[in-house]
Structure 1
Amino acid sequence: MSDSVAVSPRQAAHCSVRLPNGMAVDSLGVDDTLMVYRDIFEDDCYRRGGVAIHDGDCILDVGANTGLFILYLNSILADARVYAFEPLPATFQVLSRNIERHNHLTVSLFNVGLSQSAGRAAFTYYPRMSNASTMFPDESSRAALMGRDYILQRFRTLPRPWAALLSLCPSWIRVALAERVRKYYLKKHKVTCGLTTLSGVLRKHGICRVDLLKVDAEQSEQSILAGLDDEDWPKIRQVVIEVHGGDEAIRDMRRSLHRRGFQTAVESNPTFPSLSLLYGVRPDDSPRN
């Protein structure tokens, strides 16, 4: 099932979460897990923009996190080959447990990140918001403002009587509380993780065709794709990439994919305007061997 790199012996703090579909999964945080579940299972975010997923596909899951995309693939496929990459040891431990409990596909797990070159790098790990862990943390005032605005929006969705009580507070109190919540969730640790490249993975495992390359790696998307050599791009048939950086980053990434022969589509994240999912499909795609 897994030919992964060994993980740290220290156990990650985790909990069990019952998903809306009834499946019980290991999790590093309930809110994180349910948010990702909605995106993948309910919104079907990886089968949009012309992207199709079929039995027999070879799929690369870059930024596998705790494994919900792989569990989704298990719900729609009888057979597939999946290579999944998650660099953070604590997250990888939870990913491994979820795949052991719920997987029937051929899955290889790798406790390593992908980048433009092999080696090691420092990651910022957020134990209370593992989905935001990254090599490139955005600690700008703009990012802090967006985080506070998101939390203020969430205040309005709290159950009674909390939403009503908060609405009665002066705005400066709500803002101060939102900032405390933001800092609580963004408590961070520095973790050094191993890195390899996409082309290195393709060569090592003899992969001649990738039916779907899924990249959700928190601002590392450019460096990940830079690790794919020119001669290997024709092996990639479809891509779904979470792109950070707003309209300019999307334009640059779309131009890059167009040069590689992909047709593209974009869906913006209504909650986080700086995030979008970019879909790329080759119009001349041929049947799998």
Structure 2
Amino acid sequence: MDNPCTCAEKVLPNGTVVSSFPGVGGEWEVPSQFQHVLEYFRHGIDVSEASVVLDIGANIGLFALTVYDRCKGNVCVHSFEPIPPTFDDLEKNFSCYDTNKLKAYPFGISNKTGTLSFTHYPNAPGLSTHYPEYMKVGLEQMLNNIESNAEALPEFFVNANKQEITEDKDKSRFNKMRAVLGLKTVFQELHVQCQVKTLSDFMKENTIEKIDLLKVDVNGSEMDVFEGIEDRDWQKIRQVVTEVPLGGERLEILKDLLHKKGFTSVIAEEQAPVVNKGLAYFIVYAKK
């Protein structure tokens, strides 16, 4: 995809140029996310020209740009990103295209309209969340498995720490020390207050009468998003693709909800951990 953007910092495998995160996040997270969004288009999930797509948890817009490319620019994508510095990159990326087709909103979608506290990870912005306990589970799993996981971590994770470490004669011990410090650096937290509203409120305000694809990637807040959809609006949604961290009971509740709302095909597929032996998750693909 040609892109005239002069503020961009990262070239993706398909040639798209995007404004990305500074430092360690941009080196690993952006290429990883690009590969990840391709997984959404499985099990019959599709977009075509003139589609209306909602991208909840847009991050810097890689999913929206993929949809835009697939539809040859003839699409309307509404993208929501509540974390201010991440939204800035999202807006920069969209400014290089038709902003009547790619629309960015500086708030999140939840089960209420108001303000919520989010945990933001500046070194891994794509993991920012209203429910940090899910990220803490992933971090604990990675640390618990560090003996066998250190050399398999992406290089930026072990290089992220700023402390000087004297190399030990025992290389495995040295790698473990680097990995532990790197992981703790990547998961350093900031707490920010962000605006949110319900999906039904947004649909009413913007007179949205159909949604061809609703994509939800909100790191543990999935059910909050779906609880904010009023009954009259479920019939307007043709497809849903959503992530569910950890799976378990929450996954079964979500699948049951989608069946009750008229989706005849609901498939849950477990994905490889986000980072080796870290946070396991599922993608749910639903169609009417």
Q: Same fold (TM over 0.5)?
A: yes
Letter of the structure 1 residue corresponding to residue 225 of structure 2: I
Give me the whole-angstrom Cα distance separating, in 2, the residues matched to 1:47 and 1:196. Answer: 27
* 1:229 equivalent in structure 2: 230
* 2:247 equivalent in structure 1: 246
Letter of the structure 1 residue corresponding to residue 64 of structure 2: I
* 1:86 equivalent in structure 2: 81
Give me the whole-angstrom Cα distance separating, in 2, the residues matched to 1:97 and 1:182. Answer: 29
Give me the whole-angstrom Cα distance separating, in 2, the residues matched to 1:188 and 1:24. Answer: 28
Alpha-carbon spacing, 1:178–1:71, altered in 2? closer, same or farther (3 Å): same
* 1:7 equivalent in structure 2: none
Q: Check if 1:107 corresponds to 2:106.
A: no
* 1:98 equivalent in structure 2: 93
Alpha-carbon spacing, 1:151–1:195, altered in 2? closer, same or farther (3 Å): farther
Alpha-carbon spacing, 1:152–1:178, altered in 2? closer, same or farther (3 Å): farther
Residue among 148, 151, 154 paired with 1:155: 151
Give me the whole-angstrom Cα distance separating, in 1, the residues matched to 2:57 and 2:136. Answer: 26
Q: Check if 1:138 corresponds to 2:112.
A: no
How far off is 1:230 after superposition?
Answer: 1.4
Q: Which runs of structure 2 are paired with 1:151-230 in the superposition (5 Å)? A: 153=149, 155-156=151-152, 169=170, 173-230=174-231
* 1:70 equivalent in structure 2: 64
Q: Secondary structure at the match of 2:132?
A: coil
Does the CA contact (< 8 Å) of 1:152 and 1:174 recur in 2? no
Q: Secondary structure at the match of 1:277?
A: strand
Give me the whole-angstrom Cα distance separating, in 2, the residues matched to 1:32 and 1:140. Answer: 15
Give me the whole-angstrom Cα distance separating, in 2, the residues matched to 1:139 and 1:206. Answer: 34
Does the CA contact (< 8 Å) of 2:11 and 2:17 recur in 1? yes
Q: Check if 1:269 corresponds to 2:271.
A: yes
Q: Identity of aligned pairs, percent?
A: 29
Does the CA contact (< 8 Å) of 2:134 and 2:245 recur in 1? no
Alpha-carbon spacing, 1:224–1:250, altered in 2? closer, same or farther (3 Å): same
When structure 1 is superposed on structure 2, of 102-111 and 222-231 the one drifting more is 102-111
Give me the whole-angstrom Cα distance separating, in 2, the residues matched to 1:85 and 1:150. Answer: 35
* 1:11 equivalent in structure 2: none
Alpha-carbon spacing, 1:150–1:92, altered in 2? closer, same or farther (3 Å): farther
Q: Which runs of structure 2 are paired with 1:9-88 in the superposition (5 Å)? A: 16-28=9-21, 29-40=26-37, 44-78=38-72, 79-88=74-83
Q: Secondary structure at the match of 1:27?
A: coil
Structure 2 unaligned residues grouped into runs of 5+: 1-6, 159-166
Give me the whole-angstrom Cα distance separating, in 1, the residues matched to 2:172 and 2:249. Answer: 33
Please report the TM-score for the alignment, with normalisation by the length of structure 2. Answer: 0.83
How far off is 1:139 after superposition?
Answer: 6.8
Does the CA contact (< 8 Å) of 1:49 and 1:264 recur in 2? no
Letter of the structure 2 residue corresponding to residue 267 of structure 1: E
Does the CA contact (< 8 Å) of 1:74 and 1:105 recur in 2? no
Does the CA contact (< 8 Å) of 2:150 and 2:176 recur in 1? no
Letter of the structure 2 residue corresponding to residue 275 of structure 1: Y
Alpha-carbon spacing, 1:77–1:154, altered in 2? closer, same or farther (3 Å): farther
Alpha-carbon spacing, 1:229–1:181, altered in 2? closer, same or farther (3 Å): same
Structure 1 unaligned residues grouped into runs of 5+: 1-13, 283-289
Does the CA contact (< 8 Å) of 2:110 and 2:197 recur in 1? yes
Does the CA contact (< 8 Å) of 1:136 and 1:219 recur in 2? yes
Q: Secondary structure at the match of 1:228?
A: coil
Give me the whole-angstrom Cα distance separating, in 2, the residues matched to 1:190 and 1:157. Answer: 26
Please report the TM-score for the alignment, with normalisation by the length of structure 1. Answer: 0.82
When structure 1 is superposed on structure 2, of 214-223 and 21-30 the one drifting more is 21-30
Does the CA contact (< 8 Å) of 1:74 and 1:103 recur in 2? no
Alpha-carbon spacing, 1:86–1:247, altered in 2? closer, same or farther (3 Å): same
Give me the whole-angstrom Cα distance separating, in 1, the residues matched to 2:195 and 2:154. Answer: 40
